[in-house]
Chain A
Amino acid sequence: MSTANMIYGVPLQLFQIVVGLVCLAAFVGVNAVLLVWMERKVAGHFQRRPGPFEVGPYGLLQTVADAVKLIAKQIFVPEGADKMLYWTAPFLAFLPVFVTLLPIPWGDILVVQKLDLGILLILAFSGIGVLSLCLAGWASNNKWSILGAARAVSQSVAYEIPLLISVLTVVFMTGTLNLSTVVEAQGSWPWEWLGASQPLAFIIYFTCAVAETNRAPFDLPEAESELTAGFHTEYSGMGFGLFFLAEYANMIVVCGVAAALFLGGWRGPVADGWWWFLLKVYALIFVMMWFRWTYPRVRFDQLLNIAWKWLIPLAILNLLVTAALVKLFSINYYV
């Protein structure tokens, strides 16, 4: 191996990945703090009240105070719980997020790894989150937790399918699984984005993204009025904090993928750059919060019927039409 590919004896790629992961960890931490604050502020304003405003300017330090509270809380394991599974679940929920953040293109060169199979990587590791929900519910020795876990797993499995298919539509259009290449295949103006040429796929994707992150109106696994807190009923302190952190990190992932696939990624009018990507991601997150304070929770049979009877057939139909058009007119953004 030539010395040009080494830094202090460490391969360049490994160095790049480690530095990238550290940056991503910092970003996830800061972003979770920011998003919790944003959620409570947005909730307050939708209800015509200020939200947090006592701690720090505009209540910005409220989340820091909450973090201190979570860290200071006693950590315990309920009687009869499986200790090993009980503590594996929060880490299993949280750690895959960093892997899914690897191929997301924040800017032209601001990406940890331009993986040729980036989309596949994200979709594969998203499935591990479902496993953590199952473990958390099962290990808690609590009937509410097991019910919440059962709901969470069936919901995630149901909504994974139309999400995959709508993403596949984008892959058909661009001919690549590399997220950076998908972004480059789109233009700077909104009508050049894939969201404009594939509106149905975008709507299906975003609906499934909301369901995948267990956000209202798809938050039956955490239905407070019925199940106390769903799969994480028994968790306290940092155990709960990790699940909380994972939820907000997953929101970044799904909104980041949506921005990259359908909204032109870091491209935007006037000047391309990472600011456009962040703006789009936070706009999508705001829409998610808007959904939360607008729509009532749907019943669980309705929830599954939306996926199996509507979204999946529509996604498949959209895929077939896209395949036919691509074949007939040789439409291909990349090749």
Chain B
Amino acid sequence: MNACKTVKAVSDTVKGLWSLVVGLKVTGKNYVSPQLTIHYPRKTVDNIETYHGHIELVGKPKEPAVPRCICCMLCVTSCPSGCITVVKQKEPKEPARASADAPKEMLGEVGEKKAPPMAKPAKTPSRWKLNYNLCSLCGTCVEVCPVKSIRFSNDVYIAGYSQDDFVYDLLARLREQAGEGEGDR
């Protein structure tokens, strides 16, 4: 029994001493490894793909300047800070058709075929604003959008002198990006 204890004690001591060597090896390896620090601003940061900036709109595949947004208002309602403002485009009026249809129905002719139904206009937003002053980058709007019209941007170079500088018109931004040819990522 004492022999076993002695062997274990010696084994523990040797193991402990060897761990000192292992420690030196680990730090030595790190010493000769390349550095991870970037000398900003002398050098630019080249791996901001994973950076989550403020949200931006995603354009349609065939029409980059038009957002995929269908104005369902889910992002507006789900945003905990009330940052997002979306206004749907108004549908055009067709009073002539209405007045034309009325007399026929009033006549009440039996068997008369009704006029074809009106075509639905596409739902597009006329205004899409983000108030970044209130945004907490929680990502709820990105998650909740059914057509994946919202994503995080890589915009790290934001600076301004006023609150108004951080109220973004995302439709205008999307048009600029479409002009630049960025479109879908």
Contact = CB atoms under 8 A, between A and B. Distances in A.
Interface of A: 42, 44-50, 53, 290-291, 293-295
Contacts of B37: 48-50
A46 B35 contact: no
B31 to A, nearest CB: 5
Given A48-B30, A49-B35, A50-B39, 7 more contacts: A46-B27, A49-B36, A49-B37, A290-B24, A290-B31, A291-B24, A294-B26
Given A294-B23, A295-B20, A295-B23, A48 B35 contact: yes
Interface string B17-39: 00010011011101101111101
Contact of B39 (A42, A53, A294): A53
A290 B27 contact: yes
22 contacts: A44-B35, A45-B35, A46-B27, A46-B31, A48-B33, A48-B34, A48-B35, A48-B36, A48-B37, A49-B35, A49-B36, A50-B37, A50-B39, A53-B39, A290-B27, A290-B31, A293-B27, A294-B23, A294-B24, A294-B26, A294-B27, A295-B20
A87 to B, nearest CB: 39
Contacts of B28: 290
Interface string B91-121: 0000000000000000000000000000000
A44 B30 CA distance: 10
Q: Give chain A's interface secondary structure class.
A: loop
A44 B33 CA distance: 12
Of residues A45, A291, A294, which shows the largest number of chain B Cβ atoms within 10 Å of its Cβ? Answer: A294
Nearest to B24: A294
A197 B23 CA distance: 26
A45 B31 contact: yes
Contacts of A46: 27, 30-31
A48 B34 CA distance: 7
A47 B26 CA distance: 11
Contacts of A44: 35
> What are the 9 A-B residue pairs with the smallest beta carbon separation, nearest first?
A49-B37, A294-B27, A294-B23, A48-B36, A48-B35, A46-B31, A45-B31, A46-B27, A294-B24
Nearest to A286: B31
Contacts of B20: 295
B40 to A, nearest CB: 12
